[in-house]
Amino acid sequence: MKTEALFDRDAYAKEFVGRVISCDEITKDEKTAYKVVLDKTLFFPEQGGQSSDIGTLDNAKVIDVQIADGVIYHYVTSGFLIGEEVKGVIDWQHRFNNMQQHTGEHIFTGIAHNTYGAENVGFHLSDNTVTLDLNIELTDEQVDYIETTANEIIAKDVAVKAYYPNQDLLGAINYRSKKEIEGAVRLVEIEGVDLCACCAPHVKSTGQVGLLKVVSYGKYKGGTRVYILCGMRALADYNRRMKILASAYQKLNCKEEELPEKVEGLIEDNKQLKYRISDIKAGLLNDRIESVVPELTDVIIFMEDLDTKTMRDGVNKLVERHDGLCAIFSGDDEEGYNFVIGSKTRDCAAIATGLRELLGAKGGGSKQMAQGSINATRTQIEGTL
Ligand SMILES: [Zn+2]
């Protein structure tokens, strides 16, 4: 027997009394739970991309609600006797929040449909995220237009109605629908904006959505995936972003609007400092190279923070002065080393292969010069060369 869906008729009812039809002990998420069927319920089950209501049945917590063949299953933390009457209370804050998001989605998609011919091909409403997938690629301007128009419709406080039209009416009207629906079709109408087959609870007028904000969007499966936030969620997100901004401009000791310029300045300063460090390091390396006695055949230098170009220049200079293996390693024992090796007489590609086989080095090169990286200690490297 199908469960009577009380949320269908009144999206604003918060409490009800139902009779227990069945109650089975099960294991859910590795914990004991009870799967309870009532004759009627206000709990909206997970369906159509929307997560379920939560709340309580008597003193037990309702942690999940599912539907199969019209029967609604409540997953509850304690069990009941069959035939017992239980009082159900839905978590209203959670529900109303979902209603704001869902009606917001209809407004957004309705405008996208009417203005650009977009069809909604996917919808997901969880406790953290609201996404809607449209089958066409929207431009930045189009997304802006839809968002602005949606908020104008919210401000106009247009009525939102849900009803089951009779078959004659249903055949005569045009409505949005994701799939062929079996059984009675429930329509949700936002006058002049949208008419869509939908089973979820909605706010009674668009004003209650409060605010609709697109937080991001991008290409998705040949169309567009749009992330929106409505009502209290949009406010919470606004506050979260303000905090991030404030911490950034307070740390940088500037005004909010000066942030981009300030950050660009820092990036540029950082680049200049890196160049300067690189110059200083190149100078130090040069001093090291010139201090090596000319009689030495093999020269292996270890030094921190050298970039690849400086290392290559250094090795070239060493090769001019020494006949054996010339190598520069930059790094430390913990993080590993980058290396450049060169030689007039030895086969550098073969040496690199040796380092790869014995110490797992990466990289390679020619007979004259090779480079790569290695995760080994200085002692291990010196023992291998
Ligand atoms: Zn819907």
- Residue 180 scores a pLDDT above 70: no
Contact 207, 55 (CB under 8 A): no
115-148 pLDDT per residue, tens? 999 999 999 999 889 999 999 999 999 999 999 9
Residue bearing tokens 């030689």: 343
Instruction: Find the 48 Cα to ligand 1 centroid distance in Å.
Output: 7
- Strand 299-303 vs strand 325-332: parallel, antiparallel, or unpaired? parallel
Could you tell me the pLDDT band of residue 207, with boundaries at 50, 70 and 90?
Answer: very high
Mean pLDDT of 170-183: 76
- Write down the pLDDT at residue 177: 84
Two tokens, residue 371: 């480079």
Could you tell me the pLDDT band of residue 67, with boundaries at 50, 70 and 90?
Answer: very high
Instruction: Find the 230 Cα to ligand 1 centroid distance in Å.
Output: 14
Instruction: Find the 159 Cα to ligand 1 centroid distance in Å.
Output: 15
- Write down the pLDDT at residue 184: 83
Instruction: Find the 109 Cα to ligand 1 centroid distance in Å.
Output: 10
- Write down the pLDDT at residue 332: 95
Two tokens, residue 104: 């917001």
Instruction: Find the 279 Cα to ligand 1 centroid distance in Å.
Output: 62
- Write down the pLDDT at residue 171: 82
Instruction: Find the 142 Cα to ligand 1 centroid distance in Å.
Output: 22
- Write down the pLDDT at residue 181: 60
Q: Which residue has the higher pLDDT, 39 or 171?
A: 39
Instruction: Find the 61 Cα to ligand 1 centroid distance in Å.
Output: 26
Could you tell me the pLDDT band of residue 167, with boundaries at 50, 70 and 90?
Answer: confident
Instruction: Find the 199 Cα to ligand 1 centroid distance in Å.
Output: 7
Name 122's bridge partners.
Answer: 133
Instruction: Find the 207 Cα to ligand 1 centroid distance in Å.
Output: 17
Instruction: Find the 106 Cα to ligand 1 centroid distance in Å.
Output: 6
384, with CB counted inside 10 A (0-12, 13-18, 19+), is: middle
Instruction: Find the 364 Cα to ligand 1 centroid distance in Å.
Output: 58
Q: What is the mean pLDDT of the chain?
A: 95
Instruction: Find the 362 Cα to ligand 1 centroid distance in Å.
Output: 54
- Write down the pLDDT at residue 128: 87
Instruction: Find the 104 Cα to ligand 1 centroid distance in Å.
Output: 10
Over pLDDT 90: what percentage of the chain?
91
Instruction: Find the 29 Cα to ligand 1 centroid distance in Å.
Output: 29
Instruction: Find the 197 Cα to ligand 1 centroid distance in Å.
Output: 7
Instruction: Find the 226 Cα to ligand 1 centroid distance in Å.
Output: 15
- Which domains are delineated in the chain? 4-90 (2.40.30.130), 96-245 (3.30.980.10), 272-384 (3.10.310.40)
Give the number of other Cβ atoms within 10 Å of residue 104's Cβ. Answer: 30
Distance CA 194, CA 112 (A): 10
Instruction: Find the 338 Cα to ligand 1 centroid distance in Å.
Output: 57
288-326 pLDDT per residue, tens? 999 999 999 999 999 999 999 999 999 999 999 999 999
Instruction: Find the 242 Cα to ligand 1 centroid distance in Å.
Output: 31
323-371 pLDDT per residue, tens? 999 999 999 999 999 999 999 999 999 999 999 999 999 999 999 999 9
Instruction: Find the 2 Cα to ligand 1 centroid distance in Å.
Output: 21
Positive or negative torsion for Cα 275, 278, 279, 280: positive
Instruction: Find the 198 Cα to ligand 1 centroid distance in Å.
Output: 4
- Write down the pLDDT at residue 312: 96
Looking at 173-187, 257-271, 302-316, which range is the least confident one? 173-187
Instruction: Find the 140 Cα to ligand 1 centroid distance in Å.
Output: 25
Instruction: Find the 238 Cα to ligand 1 centroid distance in Å.
Output: 25
Instruction: Find the 88 Cα to ligand 1 centroid distance in Å.
Output: 24
Residue bearing tokens 């209603």: 99
- Write down the pLDDT at residue 179: 65
Residue bearing tokens 């939560």: 54
Mean pLDDT of 265-283: 94
Residue bearing tokens 């045009």: 174
76-106 pLDDT per residue, tens? 999 999 999 999 999 999 999 999 999 999 9
